[in-house]
A and B are shown apart, each in its own frame.
Chain A
Amino acid sequence: MSGAAAIHASSWAAALVRISPYTFSAIGIAISIGVSVLGAAWGIYITGSSLIGAAIEAPRITSKNLISVIFCEAVAIYGVIVAIILQTKLESVPSSKMYDPESLRAGYAIFASGIIVGFANLVCGLCVGIIGSSCALSDAQNSTLFVKILVIEIFGSALGLFGVIVGIIMSAQATWPTK
């Protein structure tokens, strides 16, 4: 009865379910690493440019404020980890079963997992980057502010972690049909 599932009222739905689940999985993995790294890079340059300028007048801030850059970098690492986990979930199924509902479900799960992680890390990287820039500038003026603003950054970097957790849970149940 697997062929009957392909008969739908609208042709868009019919076209969508005929896209191979491997396409969706591959795009999900690409987005998880690509967009995470975009977020991390964006955050690092926002922090880095302010840090360099502020360190001219206040050289003492450089070593402590590298923490902001490290938090942004962690976001990229989350993306790499999830991409590696997702690609281990890919399995071959025989072509007769490629458009089975279970197969499609596995493909969509990996795709969604990739999007979740990618975009959560994108905004997390931005958030940590902007706070890191303000942190560097405030630390240059008044060194007691550093630890307080760091707490804000830690909350910001938790956003990326939420994305990773949900992404891994989503991908855990991406089971392809057995032969």
Chain B
Amino acid sequence: MYGFEALTFNIHGGYLEAIVRGHRAGLLTTADYNNLCQCENLDDIKMHLSATKYGSYLQNEPSPLHTTTIVEKCTLKLVDDYKHMLCQATEPMSTFLEYIRYGHMIDNVVLIVTGTLHERDVQELLEKCHPLGMFDSIATLAVAQNMRELYRLVLVDTPLAPYFSECLTSEDLDDMNIEIMRNTLYKAYLEDFYKFCQKLGGATSEIMSDLLAFEADRRAVNITINSIGTELTREDRKKLYSNFGLLYPYGHEELAICEDIDQVRGVMEKYPPYQAIFSKMSYGESQMLDKAFYEEEVRRLCLAFEQQFHYAVFFAYMRLREQEIRNLMWISECVAQNQKSRIHDSVVYMF
């Protein structure tokens, strides 16, 4: 019952909610980012990070560091936090936490299939997969020739199986089809997650609906922009948009017929939350769009912590950590390549 969750939430969720809020206190602040941006090389970065929660993960790394090592170890911290929370959780929180992984599973599946298409070694691809999205038999994906085989050999035993019903064709896997497959899977996953949160009710469903709707709308805009000028037909493009969100259904109809970025801007400016995002960019500029979307996402995720006694804090924490890892990767790359003037192009500050 909305409003009375405070009475019973702490029975199963009180301890974990307190833990996740403790983790949130360990996220890097603007002051930390400023320190990192002043670094001259990767060893400086390692030294600054040793004062944060990442310290124990980076301290044993030998001196010539690579940026990929930094990112890998920071991701390991995220995975450890997640696994600790997952093993302590009961239903329905454990199902909620599992849903957070499915997005990474989809990314890993697409990574391996694309890599196999381009004749890469399976072991090399497995190392690049995100650890949260690993499942048994993921290596068998390299054997499949088309989507039906993909499903029958590997994915039918994974939690992604129900998302495949729209994807089962016998076409061979090529770059275009793989992108379509990725977006179709992700669409099914977002709708499933959305329905699950609606069933949970209360503050969880209210906050998660807002966060997932933003995610769906952002993906719709990205799909539109990325498919301008490709052979993707309007009907196919419309099929990739999710069935919820602020843009559903009228915004989707208008987005499906867009042919360039200014038309997309015209469609989005009809919706006040997105008009604020697009107004930050001048005409014809699309590189800042990603950063503007990330900033808006971070703002909404931080707001999720304002309420107590709901599950959306877990989702928000995972997403904020991922954003932080992206920030660290960008900063490390800029420092390693001596391009510190470009650091502020892509770092999203949280608090």
Contacts and interface: CB of A to CB of B under 8 A. Distances in A.
Interface string B10-34: 1100111111011101100000000
A128 interface: no
A172 interface: no
B11 A137 contact: no
B22 A50 contact: no
Contacts of A51: 18
Contacts of B116: none
Interface residues of B, number: 16
Interface residues of A, number: 20
Given A133-B308, A134-B308, A137-B308, A54 B21 contact: yes
A37 B303 CA distance: 36
B19 A133 contact: no
A137 B10 CA distance: 13
A52 B10 CA distance: 12
Task: Tell me if B's interface is mostly helix, strand, loop or mixed.
Answer: helix
Interface of B: 6-7, 10-11, 14-19, 21-23, 25-26, 308
A153 to B, nearest CB: 14
Task: Tell me if A's interface is mostly helix, strand, loop or mixed.
Answer: helix
Contacts of A50: 10, 14-15, 17-18
Interface of A: 42, 45-46, 49-54, 56-58, 126, 130, 133-134, 136-137, 140-141
B14 A46 contact: yes
Contact of A137 (B6, B21, B23, B26): B21
Contacts of B7: 42, 46, 126, 130
Contacts of A49: 10-11, 14-15, 18
A52 B16 CA distance: 10
A49 B8 CA distance: 12
Nearest to A137: B21
B106 to A, nearest CB: 31
